[in-house]
Amino acid sequence: MSLLDREASGVVMTPDNIRTKRLPLAVNLGIAVAGLAIAAAVVYGFGIGNYVLVVVLGVVFYLIGLQIVAGRIEGPRTARDRMWKTLIYAACLLAVLPLASVVWTLVSKGVQRLDGNFFGSSMNNIGARDPEGGAYHAIIGTLEQVGVATLIAVPLGVLGAIYLVEYGRGRFANTVRFFVDVMTGIPSIVAGLFILSFWVLIVSPWFNNGTPRFSGFAASLALTVLMLPTIVRSTEEMLRLVPGPLREGAYALGVPQWKTILQVVLPTALPGIVTGVMLAVARAAGETAPVLLVAGGAASINFNPFEGGQSSLALYVYQQAGDASRYAPARAWTAALTLVAIVLILTIAAKLLARRNSLSK
């Protein structure tokens, strides 16, 4: 009679019921401590680095020791599995550490100027020795420029993706896909130069008595050029993920193709589309070169995006980071924190709205 035949009644052979030797937690921790100690002795004994090298060598020594000790206790197969699992956890930790470091640095240094003056005033008439001055004008510029760019780019991008997925066939569709892929990696300075040479120098003089004029709308056009490829590509991929039977079922009921796209395909792909749009918005909100080239980066408050120069939070951070004033770095860090907070709030709001719409269908 085999081992399976001798199983107790009602007992299933699962990994939880199979007793094997396991590496105790205390031994695992001891290997880690020993690895760090050996690494510290090597690094500080020979004077070849600091605590970063100690941690790196400590992980290496820990993996070597874990392989040896676990191989003797659990067997070579389980030891290899444990080592690779440890490598995966270490890789995840290494990926999270830079993000956590950036967030901690941003928050710790950005809270210095979180006050009413920063959010309620501009840099107009603020000298190098003046501790006041805020980013109200830059916040207004960012919201208006990104908002106008989103209003232009989202309909064009979504409609372009619908054409490529639902209607596009042949050489023209392949050409559109090719240029969308090329535009995805276009430098922001190129988009700014394009709008500068076309809109600012050629079109805007028609409305300003022959004089070229910077404006927030010109910055929005440059940001639109940067947002379009991201929206088109992400929306195209989301539309392709919609199951074919959903379309076929609607067609079988006699629903026209345009209504199927509007009422079946788009609602199904909406969460992914919103994610792609917010990625494009985040990129546009962080661009500096287009705003500097076509909006001028004014220090005063301007609510009209179609007339006069405007600033943005990204440009404000760039200007304050290069300012010689001892009060400028605090303004730069707070503006950077504000920019991240705005993008985070918009992303959460868009996600919640998309989720609510999908649940209500």
d(CA 193, CA 201): 11
pLDDT in tens, 323-339: 888 889 999 999 999 99
Q: What is the CATH number of domain 118-356?
A: 1.10.3720.10
Inform me whether the pLDDT recorded for 148 exceeds 90: yes
Which of 21-25, 135-139, 188-192, 205-209 has the lowest average pLDDT?
A: 21-25
CA distances from 136 to 105, 139, 265, 335 (A): 23, 5, 41, 10
Inform me whether the pLDDT recorded for 178 exceeds 60: yes
Inform me whether the pLDDT recorded for 7 exceeds 50: no
Q: What is the number of alpha carbons within 13 Å of residue 212 lying toward its C-beta?
A: 14
Q: Name the token pair of 310.
A: 């405007």
pLDDT in tens, 252-267: 888 898 899 998 999 8
pLDDT for position 197? 92
110-127 average pLDDT score? 88
Closest CA to 192 of 211, 213, 219, 214: 219
d(CA 320, CA 332): 5
pLDDT for position 104? 92
Inform me whether the pLDDT recorded for 99 exceeds 90: no
144-155 average pLDDT score? 95
49-74 average pLDDT score? 86
pLDDT for position 236? 92
Task: Give the domain ranges of the chain.
Answer: 3-111, 118-356
Inform me whether the pLDDT recorded for 344 exceeds 60: yes
pLDDT for position 84? 87
pLDDT for position 15? 54
> Of all residues in the chain, what percent are helix, strand and coil, respectively (each to 5)?
75, 0, 25
Element of type H or E holding 171:
helix 170-184
pLDDT in tens, 233-287: 999 999 999 998 888 898 888 889 889 999 899 988 998 899 899 999 999 999 9
Inform me whether the pLDDT recorded for 18 exceeds 60: no
Inform me whether the pLDDT recorded for 4 exceeds 90: no
pLDDT for position 79? 82
Asked whether the beta carbons of 284 and 146 are under 8 A apart, the reply is: yes
